[in-house]
C-alpha cells in the first residue's frame, strides 16, 4: 500500500448469512467520496458487489451504509473525512435492517413504520379548491418545516440504539414524519396519528440519546420532534382525546 492507494474492507454476504469482510485496494482520487470507492470496486474489481444508490447528490436517500462503524450517506461523505490514520476504510451495510446482499439492505420495515406512524398526509381539499394559505411564521409551521427535508436515508434508524434493543420501535424518521404532520394545520388525522405514536413502541420508548440528531445528514433533529410528540400525546391523554 502507498499514499495513492486506499485499503478498503467491504462486507460481503447474502441474506442472513454470516458474511465476511473482503479487502480491496482502490486508487485515491481528489474529492473522492465513499460511494466513489464502492463504485470503483464494483465496476473495476468485482462486478458481483451489490449496493444501492441513485442520485449521487444527497437527495434520494438510497446510499446510506456503515462507514468505519458509523451510519453515513456515502455519496456526500468524502473519504478524507472518515478514513483513519492507517488509511483503512471499512464499509458495511446499514445497521438494524435485514441484508439483501452485500451493502444493500431491505428497507421494507423502515418504511412500514412510517405507515404505522401514519406518516401520510390526509387532507380534505381537492385540486379544484384554492391553495391553503398557511403563514410560515406560525409555531406549528415552523415546527413542521424543521423536519420536512428528511430524505428517508435511514441513517438515523441505523444509529438508534433503541431500534437495536426493541425492533418494533417506530424509530426516529417515522416519528419525525408524524411530528411534521401533527403540526400541519391542513391535515385531518391528528388524533389518529397521536394514537398511532402513543403506543408502547412509539415516542415514549425513545431514550433521548440523540444519535439520530447527531448523525442526520440533513441537520434534522428527530430528538426534538419526538419530545414534541411526547408532550402533545400527554396533553391529549389528559384531555381524554386519545
Ligand atoms: S445517492 Fe442519493 S442521497 Fe446518496
Nearest to 75 by CA among 35, 129, 16: 35
What residue spans define the domains of the chain? 5-105, 108-238
Pairing of strands 64-67, 99-101: unpaired
Quick one: which atom of ligand 1 is closest to the CA of 55?
2
Query: Which residues fall within 8 angstroms of residue 138, CB to CB, at 6 or more apart?
Result: 185
Quick one: which atom of ligand 1 is closest to the CA of 54?
1
Q: Output the pLDDT for position 16.
A: 77
Question: pTM for the whole thing?
Answer: 0.94
Q: Output the pLDDT for position 133.
A: 92
Quick one: which atom of ligand 1 is closest to the CA of 76?
4
Q: Output the pLDDT for position 188.
A: 95
Out of 38, 51, 73, mutate this one to test ligand 1's pocket (max ligand atoms within 8 Å of CB): namely 73
Quick one: which atom of ligand 1 is closest to the CA of 73?
4
The protein residue with its alpha carbon nearest to ligand 1, atom 1, reads 56
Homologous superfamily of the 108-238 domain (CATH): Alpha-helical ferredoxin (1.10.1060.10)
- The grid cell for 134 is 398557511
Q: How far is the CA of 51 from the centre of ligand 1 (A)?
A: 12
Q: How far is the CA of 134 from the centre of ligand 1 (A)?
A: 31
Fill in the DSSP letter of residue 33.
Answer: B
Answer left, alpha or beta for residue 78, where phi above 0 means left and psi between -120 and 50 means alpha. beta
Per-residue pLDDT of the chain (242 residues; tens, 9 = 90+): 467 899 999 999 998 778 999 999 999 999 999 999 999 999 999 999 999 999 999 999 999 999 999 999 999 999 999 997 778 999 999 999 999 999 999 999 999 999 999 999 999 999 999 989 999 999 999 999 999 999 999 999 999 999 999 999 999 999 999 999 999 999 999 999 999 999 889 999 999 999 999 999 999 999 999 999 999 999 999 999 98
The angle formed by the CA atoms of residues 69, 61 and 215, to the nearest 5 degrees, is: 40
Q: Which residues line ligand 1 (CB under 6 A)?
A: 53-56, 58-63, 73, 75
Domains 5-105 and 108-238 alike in fold: no
Q: How far is the CA of 153 from the centre of ligand 1 (A)?
A: 8
* Fold annotation for 5-105: Ubiquitin-like (UB roll) (3.10.20)
Distance CA 184, CA 27 (A): 49
Amino acid at each position: 500500500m502507498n499514499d495513492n492507494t486506499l485499503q478498503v474492507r467491504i462486507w460481503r454476504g447474502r441474506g442472513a448469512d454470516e458474511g465476511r469482510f473482503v479487502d480491496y485496494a482502490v486508487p485515491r482520487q481528489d474529492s473522492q467520496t465513499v460511494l466513489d470507492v464502492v463504485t470503483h470496486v464494483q465496476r473495476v474489481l468485482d462486478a458481483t458487489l451489490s449496493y444501492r444508490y441513485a442520485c449521487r447528490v444527497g437527495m434520494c436517500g438510497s446510499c446510506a451504509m456503515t462507514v468505519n462503524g458509523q451510519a453515513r450517506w456515502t455519496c456526500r461523505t468524502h473519504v478524507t473525512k472518515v478514513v483513519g490514520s492507517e488509511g483503512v476504510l471499512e464499509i458495511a451495510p446499514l445497521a438494524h435492517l435485514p441484508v439483501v446482499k452485500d451493502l444493500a439492505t431491505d428497507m421494507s420495515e423502515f418504511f412500514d413504520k412510517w405507515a404505522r406512524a401514519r406518516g401520510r398526509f390526509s387532507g380534505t381539499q381537492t385540486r379544484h379548491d384554492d391553495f391553503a394559505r398557511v403563514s410560515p411564521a406560525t409555531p406549528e409551521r415552523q415546527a413542521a418545516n424543521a423536519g420536512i427535508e428528511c430524505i428517508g436515508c435511514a441513517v438515523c434508524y441505523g444509529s438508534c440504539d433503541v431500534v437495536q434493543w426493541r425492533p418494533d420501535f417506530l424509530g426516529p424518521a417515522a416519528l419525525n414524519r408524524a411530528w411534521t404532520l401533527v403540526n400541519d394545520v391542513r391535515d385531518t388525522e391528528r388524533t389518529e396519528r397521536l394514537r398511532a405514536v402513543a403506543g408502547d413502541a412509539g415516542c415514549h420508548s425513545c431514550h433521548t440519546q440523540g444519535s439520530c440528531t447527531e448523525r442526520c445528514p440533513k441537520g434534522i433533529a428527530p430528538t426534538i420532534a419526538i419530545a414534541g410528540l411526547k408532550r402533545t400525546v400527554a396533553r391529549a391523554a389528559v384531555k381524554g382525546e386519545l
